[in-house]
């Protein structure tokens, strides 16, 4: 019998934390006859420190968050909070909700992905044993800001400081034949394999800042405070107008091939990340089929199996997903 998972002996970082988390019980059931390689799920409820792609909702019920984290722990998943906001983060270190969220997360053995030295130091000052991951945003910004940036030296220095370090996909691809010689501990490097942005995108830092501003604007509109809906639409237009596919005739995605991923695994890479927090269920399934599932099994066969499992879960146990049971009273 063919196994569903294409790669063995690795750990996946999946975008199933506060987004698309219905995939957690679905894949748990689908892979019940084999080893499930998903170890980390990443994301964050909206807060001042949260960064990256849009979250589905704002959740400020700390009791409910605690319940959710315990749910993930029962499934042997490590929740990784994407505290990667780089937009005026130094001004937000004392944000009450973010610090309360940090307390609950640490108590539930969560990890923290950060892109700011200030936030790293703040978290470590409260919790010296906190498990920290260095975001890919950090080397992206450093490379854009400094043409003499020594990326190899940076990763090795960060491995002395962080538990896990995320490498730029472009650096990974360009050094794929010698990564095991360049990097001091290849087993603690995390590789993003399905980034759809332009290769070496010159707007990447600005994308991060604008996306965070957009998220702040969206939730502020909901609360009828800081931003107007006109400001929200202006930000959305800016993001859409700067999609690399619209301004570069020679657009090249950073997505890796199966051959490249296999080569990385052969030299000792143990941690693989898939993007997709902002994707809907069908689009994220397509990403999983490209980068997670064994293609010896047809896409249709896997999708049919998943649809059956999904229907059963939603019908029989709505507690499986906080996105399905958001109005549940905890």
User: Domain holding 184: CATH number?
Assistant: 3.20.20
Q: pLDDT digit string (tens) for 160-188?
A: 999 999 999 999 999 999 999 999 999 99
CA angle, 50 then 52 then 55, to 5°: 70
Same domain, 93 and 221: no
Asked whether residue 5 is assigned to any structural domain, the reply reads: no
Instruction: Kindly state the tokens that stand for 17.
Output: 């934390």
Same domain, 67 and 191: yes
Asked whether residue 326 is assigned to any structural domain, the reply reads: no
Q: Can you give the pLDDT at residue 235?
A: 55
Same domain, 155 and 231: no
Distance CA 188, CA 308 (A): 36
Same domain, 52 and 129: yes
Distance CA 83, CA 126 (A): 15
Same domain, 105 and 223: no
Characterize 65-80 residue by residue with b for buried, 16 or more Cβ atoms within 10 angstroms of its Cβ, and e for exposed.
bbebbebbeeeebbbb
Q: pLDDT digit string (tens) for 41-89?
A: 999 888 889 876 655 555 678 888 898 899 899 999 999 999 998 877 8
Q: Global pTM?
A: 0.86
Q: Can you give the pLDDT at residue 233?
A: 60
Same domain, 159 and 272: yes
Q: Can you give the pLDDT at residue 311?
A: 84
Q: Can you give the pLDDT at residue 68?
A: 87
Asked whether residue 4 is assigned to any structural domain, the reply reads: no
Same domain, 21 and 133: yes
Domain residue limits at 270: 11-196+253-320
Instruction: Kindly state the tokens that stand for 16.
Output: 């199933």
How many independent structural domains does the chain possess?
2
**Backbone phi, psi, residue 180, to 5°:** -65, -20
Same domain, 90 and 161: yes
Q: Can you give the pLDDT at residue 226?
A: 47
Q: Are 30 and 50 in contact (CB under 8 A)?
A: no
Asked whether residue 327 is assigned to any structural domain, the reply reads: no
Same domain, 70 and 110: yes
Q: Are 232 and 210 in contact (CB under 8 A)?
A: no
Same domain, 262 and 286: yes
Same domain, 187 and 219: no
Among 45, 48, 53, smallest CA distance to 88 is for: 48
Same domain, 181 and 217: no
Asked whether residue 328 is assigned to any structural domain, the reply reads: no
Residue-level pLDDT, tens digit, the chain, 330 residues = 789 999 988 999 999 998 888 899 899 999 999 999 999 999 988 888 987 665 555 567 888 889 889 989 999 999 999 999 887 788 889 999 999 999 999 999 999 999 999 999 999 999 999 999 999 999 998 998 888 999 999 999 999 999 999 999 999 999 999 999 999 999 999 999 998 777 777 767 777 766 666 666 555 544 444 445 565 566 556 555 555 444 444 555 788 999 999 999 999 999 999 998 878 889 999 999 999 999 999 999 999 999 999 888 776 554 445 554 444 443
DSSP letter for 187, please: G
């Amino acid at each position: 019998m063919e196994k569903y998972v294409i790669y063995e002996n690795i750990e996946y970082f999946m975008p199933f934390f506060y987004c698309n988390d219905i995939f957690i019980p679905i894949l748990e059931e689908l892979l019940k006859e084999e080893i499930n390689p998903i170890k980390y799920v990443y994301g964050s409820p909206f807060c001042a420190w949260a960064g990256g792609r849009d979250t589905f909702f704002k959740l400020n019920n700390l009791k409910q968050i605690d319940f959710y984290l315990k749910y993930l722990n029962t499934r042997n998943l490590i929740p990784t909070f994407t505290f990667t906001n780089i937009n005026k983060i130094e001004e937000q270190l004392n944000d009450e909700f973010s610090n309360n969220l940090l307390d609950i997360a640490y108590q539930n053995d969560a990890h923290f992905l950060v892109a700011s030295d200030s936030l790293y130091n703040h978290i470590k000052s409260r919790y010296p044993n906190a498990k920290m991951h260095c975001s890919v945003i950090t080397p992206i910004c450093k490379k854009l800001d400094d043409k003499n940036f020594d990326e190899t030296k940076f990763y090795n220095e960060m491995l002395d400081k962080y538990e896990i370090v995320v490498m730029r996909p472009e650096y990974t691809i360009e050094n794929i034949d010698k990564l095991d010689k360049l990097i001091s501990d290849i087993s603690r490097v995390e590789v993003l394999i399905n980034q759809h942005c332009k290769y070496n995108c010159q707007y990447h830092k600005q994308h991060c800042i604008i996306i965070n501003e957009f998220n702040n604007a969206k939730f502020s509109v909901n609360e009828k405070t800081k931003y107007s809906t006109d400001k929200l639409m202006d930000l959305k237009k800016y993001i859409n107008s700067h999609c690399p596919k619209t301004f570069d005739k020679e657009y090249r995605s950073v997505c890796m091939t199966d051959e490249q991923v296999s080569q990385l695994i052969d030299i000792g890479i143990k941690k693989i990340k898939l993007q997709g927090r902002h994707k809907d269920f069908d689009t994220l399934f397509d990403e999983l089929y490209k980068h997670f599932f064994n293609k010896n099994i047809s896409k249709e066969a896997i999708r049919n199996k998943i649809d059956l499992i999904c229907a059963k879960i939603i019908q029989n146990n709505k507690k499986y997903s906080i996105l399905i049971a958001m109005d549940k009273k905890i």
